[in-house]
Amino acid sequence: MANSSITFHFNHFRVSTNSFLSQYEPLLLLITPIFSLFIAHSIRSFFNVFRDKGFKATIITFILNFIKLIPGVKSYIQAEKQKVVDQMQSGGKSKREGWLTELPSTGLGKTVLEKMKEEKRNDPVWQGKCSGTVYIGGSESDGHFFVINEACSMFAHTNPLHLDVFRSVAHFEAEVVAMTAALLGSKEHSSGGQICGNMTSGGTESILLAVKTSRDYMKSKKGITRPEMIIPESAHSAYDKAAQYFNIKLWRVPVNKNFQAEAKAIRRHINKNTIMIVGSAPGFPHGIIDPIEELGHLASSYGICLHVDLCLGGFVLPFARELGYPIPPFDFSVKGVTSISVDVHKYGLAPKGTSIVLYRNHEIRKHQFVAVTEWSGGLYVSPTIAGSRPGGLIAGAWAAMISLGKEGYLKNTKEIMEASKKIQKGVEEIPELFVVGRPDMTIVAFGSDVLDIFEVNDIMSSKGWHLNALQRPNSLHICVTLQHVPVVEDFLSELKESVKTVKENPGPIKGGLAPIYGAAGKMPDRGTVQELLVEYMDGTC
């Protein structure tokens, strides 16, 4: 009886539906659901972009994508984009002419060293002229350079992957990590007494590992499977790389008027999927320390991770604080800090390719490691992204720290902090320029309200100076190292001359990059800017 009733109602529904649809053309009935799916997909795409980029960026993206559908527009944009890429690569391709593309039939033996010296002589003069880049003072052939070069050479063949063979390198790494941790609060009662870490190839790898570890730790602790992290817009681009590599949703939030991370803005983005927030001490663009204590309180109250980027400040701030500079809390003595990245190859004066990632305890760090048991090659476990690692660099870092000691780092810090303050004062005395924010350390960023600061940069480049171009606001910065201590007055003198030149003759110089920097800063479609950078990189490596 029940089955008959169901059959009756189904047949009635079928007849009614067919009768209703019979008034429409079959083609329309076929197209309508397909069109509906297209509309639904478009709406979904819109909201996905809206969630990722916000309202303004979403509208701009959709408008520009629509414009690109107009015949001829896409090809025009591509042609203009190629012109910019060609200008950015100007001269690069010609310099590659004559480069080897296969092995020589006969090797050069020891004479290869002479060829390498010849190649090196063709490099631009960098001594005292580069922002950051080389942090060690003096000549490449003696002093501290000689010490770390000898240490690297002595252990160039070693690999800490083989702990049972190269025990000395394992010993060096453990001591470098422990000594660095001691500088950053491991001896303080508030740190918990379990600070641990590993050496890496640089600040980017240290940050990548901290992000990956935080992701996996929060998954085990809270079951988060759609991870998100929140960073200030002044945070290093390595976090963008980590977000892409590890499939993490990234929120960049504006900094406050002092160019520091804004705790309130970060709090607004915290949700059930948030795994970590980030602070810098100092931030790379402007040399300003974020409010680490505020961020630590925020992380603690929500039970999430806080990573502090000390890549620049790790071997300056502890000593600057001891010298009496007003340095706010920034390390593991702050409750809520779960990990720290610090580069030994910057102000630690170690050879390039040496950094450290530290964690508050072993429970967190265990999520950094990768262990493999289902491999025919045997059991495998690795602490960092790299498997084999250059033991010579680890030995060089140990040699740098042991040879300098606390006294050496205090002396160096005093010199570079004083040089930084002189440069800051000198920039402030140039009427056309202003210093961005209030630098806490050894970076001085400066811009202009009356000149194109990127044109100033081009003039400085023509004089041999290599500064960093920044945006938001458009500005330049110099990261002061021991190389700059003897040339502070030269830098300020040539900066004044460059400002005067641009003021008297505004407009880009031939071959300069000011137009590109300026256009990139104003371009609303950041996707196009990304494409430009990718195509530039693809043509240079």
Q: Identify whether residues 213 and 270 lie together within a single domain.
A: yes
The CATH number for 514's domain is: 3.90.1150.10
Query: Cα separation of 347 and 374, whole Å?
Result: 42
Q: Which domain holds residue 247?
A: 152-403
| pTM of the complete model | 0.85
Q: Label the pairing between strands 443-447 and 434-435.
A: antiparallel
Q: Is residue 381 part of a domain?
A: yes
Residue-by-residue pLDDT tens, the chain, 541 positions: 556 777 777 777 777 777 776 777 777 767 877 877 878 776 776 666 556 655 666 666 666 666 666 776 666 666 666 666 666 666 555 577 788 889 999 999 999 999 999 999 988 888 889 999 999 998 887 899 999 999 999 999 999 988 889 999 999 999 999 999 999 999 998 999 999 999 999 999 999 999 999 999 999 999 999 999 999 999 999 999 999 999 999 999 999 999 999 999 999 999 999 999 999 999 999 999 999 999 999 999 999 999 999 999 999 999 999 999 999 999 999 999 999 999 999 999 999 999 999 999 999 999 999 999 988 888 888 899 999 999 999 999 999 999 999 999 999 999 999 999 999 999 999 999 999 999 999 999 999 999 999 999 999 999 999 999 998 899 999 999 999 999 999 999 999 999 999 999 988 777 666 656 665 655 556 666 677 677 766 777 7
In the chain, the amino acid numbered 313 is G
User: Is 181 found in the same domain as 34?
Assistant: no
Are 342 and 458 part of one and the same domain? no
Give the pLDDT confidence score for residue 309 in this predicted structure.
Answer: 98
pLDDT of residue 513: 64
Pairing of strands 434-435, 370-372: unpaired
For residue 279, tell me if it sits in a domain.
yes
What's the length of the chain?
Answer: 541
> What CATH number is associated with residue 330?
3.40.640.10
Cβ–Cβ under 8 Å, residues 385 and 209? yes
Examine residue 488 and state whether it is found in any structural domain, yes or no.
Answer: yes
Q: Check whether residue 216 and residue 335 sit in a common domain.
A: yes
Written as six digits, the tokens of 469 are: 């171009």
CA distances from 528 to 64, 66, 385, 532 (A): 10, 14, 31, 6
Q: What is the pLDDT of residue 55?
A: 61
Let me know whether 465 and 375 are in one domain.
no
Confirm whether 5 is domain-assigned: no
The 3-class secondary structure across 472-493, one letter per residue, is CCCEEEEECCHHHHHHHHHHHH
**Structural domain count, the chain:** 3
Q: Are residues 285 and 366 in the same domain?
A: yes
Same structural domain, 284 and 225: yes
Strands of the sheet containing 339-343, edge to edge, are 196-200, 355-359, 339-343, 305-309, 274-280, 228-232, 249-253
The helix/strand/coil state of 314 is coil
